[in-house]
Amino acid sequence: MATITRFLETFEPSHYDVYIDVNRGTKEISGKSTITGVAHTKPVYIHQKNMEIESVQANGNDVPFTADNKTESIKIEVPEMGETTLAITYKAPLTDSMMGIYPSYYEVNGEKKELIGTQFETTFARQAFPCVDEPAAKAKFDLAIKFDEKPGETILANMPEVREENGVHYFDTTVRMSTYLIAFAFGDLQSKKTKTKSGVEVGVFSTKAHEPKELDFALDIAKRSIEFYEDFYQTPYPLPHSWQLALPDFSAGAMENWGLVTYREAYLLLDPDNTALDTKQLVATVISHELAHQWFGDLVTMQWWDDLWLNESFANMMEYVAIDAIEPDWNVWELFQTSDVPAALQRDATDGVQSVHVNVENPAEIDALFDSAIVYAKGARMLVMMRALVGDDALRKGLKNYFAAHQYGNAKGADLWNAVGDAAGMDVASIMNTWLEQPGYPLVTAKVVDGKLTLSQQQFFIGEGKDAGRSWKIPLNSNYDAAPKIFKDKEIVLGDYEQLRKKNGKPFRVNVGNNSHFIVKYDKTLLMDILDNLDTVDSISQMGILQDLRLLAEARQMSYAAVVPLLKRFANNHSTVVNAAIYRIAYNLRKFVTPNTDEEKALKALYGQLSTEQYERLDWMPKDGESIDDQLTRPTILNAALYAENPSAQAKAHKLFEENKNDLASLSADIRIFVLRNEVKNYGSQELITDLLEQYRQSTDPSYKSDLSVAITSTKDSKMISLLIEKFEDADTIKPQDLRAWFRGVLDNSAGEQAAWDWIRNDWDWLEKTVGGDMEFTTYITVVTSVFRTPERLAEFKAFFDPKINTPGLTREITMDKSIIETRVNLIQDEKAEINAAIKKVTE
């Protein structure tokens, strides 16, 4: 079928009547999909996957058909082209893959229960009902669902239910929409509801394993996010309701199904009385991300998956725009600076990385497109750069026009650039395309040459990189007027440095605000000028300087040995972002030291030197009325103080454990993780670990569970490590969706590295069967890559993954990851001695 690229070219649907009967007992789905549309060819092709097709009719008459799982299709011999109604009856299995229609498993008071939900992005609607499963194949849907219903169960879908007849639930006709956004769910649910100012019904739903108060935070954020977007987009929310549903089993973070958004429980539910601020920020941004999609992605959808970034990059920016507007005190853009920005800069510096916009056809490769550091983080950074360039007025005007022109339809990247460009009176497309279509980003070198201040740009690589002569149109954001607004040449001379310095009265800087996707290498004169005047530099820019030094050191453009003595200049800064940047560098130094050596002792002394004063200032317990910066910095400092083996920090952690050992969950969530981990590491008996593991199994509080998994996996006891690895495949203890965090914890523990590595190699087939075919799968390889640092491990990595390199969806990841480990191995070999000497010197 090589000639057919898109099924939409053969059949263009306009309306579906979908009837689905789900039997949880027999794990079977049966149904009928009646599709009205236009046949453009003879035969036509409709998507299906793993179905048993019983009959196909065209305009009421049986017609010949062939179902094929390899091409995920039904070839239907329609008698003629033109207006046609297809009716397809089928059976399909209900599987545990977290894709298509699938069950979530949970317990309430020891009783095992199931909740049925759906996940159709990217190409899984075709497992639920025959359809033209492509984003451009928009149609209206009438959904009718029957199931082995018990009293008190609730069913939800994209639209409100209009009637129930003979146990069949009928839902209102949808607006014109894509198949991957269809959703429904049923089970024993609890809910809380409210209404927006404009009358949209907003609800939060969960299983009854949770306390009702855990729904409150999400309800408030969802309501205010929708109100914010209606105003910002100047376009009403298009549906009667917006349901948010937490599913116990969920592969990704959340999914923007139109009107029925689904979430991991950890990203929707939280205990309002004991949850750390950073967890609240994370949950709030996930909710506002999904709700941004209700317009951007759902109302206007990418034409094809190559423009996935158009959905994700945009929602990833808007999640911060929205939360910054509704919770201004949180300074949530700082979270963007400490999470998305470093992720994008690190990943995008490796040769072979994908560009934000990528061509794609094969379904297996569509899932591999979800490279979060690129499509989400870099894409968002690209749009933040655009927003800074055009301003909010033009952005909002452009968006309003964009929604009006493409609503209930599809769009491409160029449509967005044109809409915003027209509103701004600027050629946005020509600037943005240099970022969208090219992988990587520039290093801007600023130096004084023969007395002249000059700038040049060149692609930045960590590790081997083939310079393809790329250049970018860079919004410079300099604090000197002599620098151009957009730097597009390879090199420019700004003028006489002494004169410019005198005229401006402050050190020369570019990328002020760190909103543009590039890094800067200042020569010694310029860098020392900035460092000697740090008190005049805002915290985001101080963070930017540390971030750029770290990346330059990773890329061997300077040495960590030169960075180490600079750290203490920043160490007593009270800003969250500066501290995050300091300890990211300090963390990177750990790879140069061998555990239990004098080198490690010296590094711990450096951590002590950097953290002691702040530790004494902040101490363990949150204080009433303290600043947001202090709240968010404390965990970073406690982590550092414990690594430094600060005796007071260790003793207080142990005391807090003892005082709360009968109710550990009630320990303040801001510090709980450190108390638990300190206990396991320094006082961890086998009884303690088995007890914590049982608490993990029983707890329904996602943030406590996450703390427990970090603590438990830090054990040094080899018997306990073997026990944990046994639990990896026991879904009653560790759900497959949470396994990666456990695997990372054990692998990143020097006492567990070998066992975890052996496990993933031995049980790769199990892993592939359990979480393969899923956009999260490749991230297991990324986890391994993030830990390995010796030539032996590199060789083992190659021996294991090289034979898998042609697996669809894995090729890029394996290729990049080999290069990432190799770069790290070389860096350590070449610079270890010099860096450890530098650490020793500053701590003597």
The string over 648-683, giving b where at least 16 C-beta atoms fall within 10 Å of a residue's C-beta and e elsewhere, is ebbebbeebbeeeeeebbebebbbbbbbbbbbbbee
Shortest Cβ 520–Zn ion spacing (Å): 31
The count of other CB atoms within 10 Å of the CB of residue 297 is: 24
Shortest Cβ 312–Zn ion spacing (Å): 5
Phi, then psi, of 162 in degrees rounded to 5? -105, -30
Rank residues 316 and 575 by Cβ distance to Zn ion and give the closer one.
316
Cβ within 8 Å of residue 26, ≥6 positions away: none
- Short-list 288, 517, 492, 415, CA closest to 484: 492
**Spatial contact of 636 and 579, defined as CB atoms under 8 Å apart:** yes
* 554 carries an active-site annotation: no
Please give the residue whose beta carbon sits closest to Zn ion in the complex: 315
Residue 424 interacts with Zn ion (CB under 5 A)?
A: no
Phi, then psi, of 632 in degrees rounded to 5? -85, -20
Shortest Cβ 302–Zn ion spacing (Å): 12
Shortest Cβ 228–Zn ion spacing (Å): 17
- For residue 781, give Cα distances in angstroms to 441, 769, 818: 24, 15, 10
Rank residues 135 and 475 by Cβ distance to Zn ion and give the closer one.
135
Segment contacting Zn ion by CB under 5 A, of 51-59, 315-323, 668-676, 759-767 = 315-323
Shortest Cβ 289–Zn ion spacing (Å): 6
Residues 275-314 that bind Zn ion (CB under 5 A): 312
Shortest Cβ 319–Zn ion spacing (Å): 9
Q: State the greatest distance between any 2 C-alpha atoms of the chain, in Å, as a whole number.
A: 88
Rank residues 382 and 474 by Cβ distance to Zn ion and give the closer one.
382
CA-CA distance, 744 to 760, in Å (whole number)? Answer: 11
Rank residues 181 and 483 by Cβ distance to Zn ion and give the closer one.
181
Rank residues 320 and 742 by Cβ distance to Zn ion and give the closer one.
320
Which one of 290, 599, 679, 813 is the catalytic residue?
A: 290
DSSP states of 305-338 as a string? Answer: GGGHHHHHHHHHHHHHHHHHHH-GGG-THHHHHH
Strands 11-23 and 140-147 turn out to be parallel
Residue 315 interacts with Zn ion (CB under 5 A)?
A: yes
Shortest Cβ 467–Zn ion spacing (Å): 33
Rank residues 315 and 578 by Cβ distance to Zn ion and give the closer one.
315
Q: Given strand 189-195, what is the order of strands in its sheet?
A: 189-195, 201-207, 241-247, 260-264, 254-255
Each residue 725-744 as x (binds Zn ion by CB under 5 A) or -, in order, gives: --------------------
Rank residues 252 and 814 by Cβ distance to Zn ion and give the closer one.
252
Shortest Cβ 242–Zn ion spacing (Å): 15
Residue 122, preceding peptide bond in cis (omega within 30° of 0):
yes
Rank residues 233 and 592 by Cβ distance to Zn ion and give the closer one.
233
Cβ within 8 Å of residue 7, ≥6 positions away: 44, 45, 46, 47, 73, 132, 133, 134, 137
Could you give the 3-state DSSP secondary structure of residue 13? strand
The label of the residue with tokens 């950074």 reads 381
Q: Which value, in Å, is the radius of gyration of the alpha carbons in the chain?
A: 28
| Count of residues of this chain found to bind Zn ion when the rule CB under 5 A is applied | 2
CA-CA distance, 821 to 748, in Å (whole number)? Answer: 15
The whole-angstrom distance between residue 562's C-alpha and the CA centroid of its chain comes to: 33
Rank residues 32 and 378 by Cβ distance to Zn ion and give the closer one.
378
The count of other CB atoms within 10 Å of the CB of residue 787 is: 18
Tokens of 540: 């985001």
Residue 380 interacts with Zn ion (CB under 5 A)?
A: no
Could you give the 3-state DSSP secondary structure of residue 576? helix
Shortest Cβ 366–Zn ion spacing (Å): 14
CA-CA distance, 183 to 17, in Å (whole number)? Answer: 15
Q: Which residues are catalytic?
A: 290
Binding site for Zn ion (CB under 5 A): 312, 315
